Amino acid sequence: MTKVTTGTLPQLTLSRNAVDFIHDRDLEDLLKPRPPDAGRVHAVIDRSLAKEALTVEETAVLLRADDPESVALIFDAARRLKREVYGNRIVLFAPLYIGNDCVNDCVYCAFKRSNREVVRRTLDEEEIRRQVQALEDKGHKRLILVFGEHPRYSAEHIARCVRTVYTTRHGNGEIRRLNINAAPMDVEGFRRVHEAGIGTYQVFQETYHHETYGRYHPANTRKGNYLYRLDALSRAQEAGIDDVGLGVLFGLYDWRFEILGLVTHARHLQQRFGVGPHTISFPRLRPASGVAVEQKYFVSDHDFKRLIAILRLAVPYTGLILTARENADVRRTVMEFGVSQIDAGTRIEIGGYTEAGDAQCMEREQFQIGDIRSLDEVMRELLVDGYLPSFCTACYRLGRTGEHFMEFAIPGFIKRFCTPNGLTTLMEYLTDYASPETKAAGRRLIEQELAAMPEGAAKAELADRLRRIEQNAEHDLYF
Ligand code: SAM
Ligand code: SF4
């Protein structure tokens, strides 16, 4: 195993044969040529519509294609691919912030150690249970736990929090899949949290551009080590976590470069472990307490749409996560270009699910979010727009993860598994938690989906399960 020395910090252990596979100059060079002609853009889009992951060079072709006709083609193709690979499902989750102590000093984040304005707090076991109950009472089944980076948030601590969440049940509520967004660990640490039964482990590179990374993450901090962070998900894979999530914080550097970084990273994982990332997140920088960031690289709404559409085409089988950092209008507009997961009913103040009022409190949160609508409101809008909101967790619970998930993510799989499971979890939500308006919209969608299915044993079985759930006789029926 390779060790890297970090000045006054402890030695950090990398994965086997870890290398820095991001070559800034090569990526910059791919973005330099003149815009491609229409034929080249069509050829790349055709590969993507055949559900081939794009190479970094092909992705750069789409990034350079910025004339209105090419951009319209890219949007259309992304819409089509999303429908074909994911159907009309949108998976819902909520973040649960556990603690905001942090030894790092990331310029953009309110939790940075130099910020004296922020109120520091870490939830204890009882407080975690209260937050989880409040989330279950709203209908959530999937959460992501979020941590600052601090010695007190060790792998054992995170594993304990995971167990606390899974064992907290309220009414018909339970958390069936728990993902993690926390600082990188060594292989042994990742193994511990894996054993606790986590779903996806997310670590965002923030920026793939080395010089920019150095400017935003001071060298005398743990996060200041670019390679240790870049290598994190390889260590997670070595520890047996085969659902990993990549991300970039858009607004720190040129968004087109960052997309090439994400695609390079995704392909690296695919080549090394036979499985690409499960998800990619693309947060845009938000205002935060004690934070002032230069605006040079802020991403406009138009470019935000482009980046989502191009990501959709570049990595057809990777889930794309859109968070409540964005406001309701932006979320509604960009959803169709390839998003497969969103959070809803989100509060990111520590303890916010039981303690927060209607307004956000900047001193208690990592950044300001743009969408604080309730889960029920978001569900209703999705239903009215023709989406199928899903709380499905079947694949993960049946071991259909990592490489196996890739095998399953093929045409036919959605019809056999994802749509039926989306519908049963929606019926659970409607029966146990929905407002009358959302219930009505949900029933209409369920009827439409059933009507669109071919007659046969599968449809009869699904209809029967939906009936049993609606009568509150049974729960958690999945295919
Ligand atoms: N502390 C861990 C880490 O840095 O990996 C956990 C993640 S942090 C709590 C979650 C993510 O929030 C960061 O990776 C970063 O991308 C994002 N973030 C931080 N400050 C932000 C801001 N001002 N606006 C939007 N997203 C921000
Ligand atoms: Fe700490 Fe993460 Fe915020 Fe950086 S982004 S200051 S590591 S919580």
To test ligand 1's pocket by mutation, which of 105, 106, 107, 109 has the most ligand atoms within 8 angstroms of CB?
Answer: 109
Q: Say whether both 142 and 202 belong to one domain.
A: yes
Tens-place pLDDT, residues 231-259: 999 999 999 999 999 999 999 999 999 99
The boundaries of the domain holding residue 70 are 24-81
For the Cβ of 396 lying below 6 angstroms from any atom of ligand 1, the answer is: no
Residue 40's SS3 state is: helix
Å from CA of 253 to ligand 1 middle: 15
User: Per the domain annotation, does 393 fall within a domain?
Assistant: no
Å from CA of 203 to ligand 1 middle: 9
Residue 236, token pair as written in the block: 């997670």
Residue 165, token pair as written in the block: 């969440």
Residue 408 has pLDDT above 80, yes or no: no
Q: Say whether both 154 and 50 belong to one domain.
A: no
Q: Say whether both 281 and 415 belong to one domain.
A: no
- pTM passes above 0.85: yes
Residue 475: its pLDDT value, please?
83
For the Cβ of 204 lying below 6 angstroms from any atom of ligand 1, the answer is: yes
Q: To the nearest whole number, what is the mean pLDDT of the chain?
A: 93
Residue 332, token pair as written in the block: 């509604």
Tens-place pLDDT, residues 53-67: 999 999 999 999 999
For the Cβ of 216 lying below 6 angstroms from any atom of ligand 2, the answer is: no
Number of folded domains that form the chain: 3
Last residue of a domain, one of 373, 398, 426: 373
Residue 127, number of CB atoms within 10 A of its CB = 17
User: Per the domain annotation, does 15 fall within a domain?
Assistant: no
What is the distance between the alpha carbons of residues 281 and 244, in angstroms, rounded to a whole number?
11
User: Per the domain annotation, does 298 fall within a domain?
Assistant: yes
Residue 84: its pLDDT value, please?
85
Q: Say whether both 277 and 185 belong to one domain.
A: yes
Residue 5 pLDDT grade (very low, low, confident, very high; cuts 50, 70, 90): low
Q: Nearest 5°: phi and psi at 343?
A: -95, 160
Which ligand is closest to the CA of 207, given by its number? 1
Residue whose CA lies nearest to ligand 2 atom number 6: 112
Q: Say whether both 335 and 421 belong to one domain.
A: no
Q: Say whether both 77 and 103 belong to one domain.
A: no
User: Per the domain annotation, does 396 fall within a domain?
Assistant: no
What is the distance between the alpha carbons of residues 312 and 310, in angstroms, rounded to a whole number?
5
Q: Which is the closest atom of ligand 1 to the Cα of 288?
A: 23
For the Cβ of 108 lying below 6 angstroms from any atom of ligand 1, the answer is: yes
Q: Say whether both 119 and 73 belong to one domain.
A: no
For the Cβ of 149 lying below 6 angstroms from any atom of ligand 2, the answer is: yes
Q: Say whether both 317 and 435 belong to one domain.
A: no
For the Cβ of 285 lying below 6 angstroms from any atom of ligand 1, the answer is: yes
Which ligand is closest to the CA of 105, given by its number? 2
Q: Say whether both 66 and 92 belong to one domain.
A: no
Å from CA of 221 to ligand 2 middle: 11
- At position 191, the amino acid (one-letter code) is R
For the Cβ of 181 lying below 6 angstroms from any atom of ligand 2, the answer is: no
Outline where DSSP puts E strands in 379-445.
388-390
Q: Say whether both 77 and 159 belong to one domain.
A: no
Q: Say whether both 245 and 293 belong to one domain.
A: yes
Last residue of a domain, one of 373, 393, 424: 373
What is the distance between the alpha carbons of residues 226 and 20, in angstroms, rounded to a whole number?
9
Q: Say whether both 121 and 217 belong to one domain.
A: yes
Residue whose CA lies nearest to ligand 2 atom number 2: 148
CATH code of the domain in which 226 resides: 3.20.20.70
Å from CA of 111 to ligand 2 middle: 6
User: Per the domain annotation, does 7 fall within a domain?
Assistant: no
Å from CA of 351 to ligand 2 middle: 18
For the Cβ of 104 lying below 6 angstroms from any atom of ligand 2, the answer is: yes
DSSP H or E stretch at residue 319: strand 319-322
What is the distance between the alpha carbons of residues 460 and 268, in angstroms, rounded to a whole number?
44
Section 285-290 average pLDDT: 92
Residue 415 has pLDDT above 90, yes or no: no
Of 235, 191, 208, the closest CA to residue 24 belongs to 208
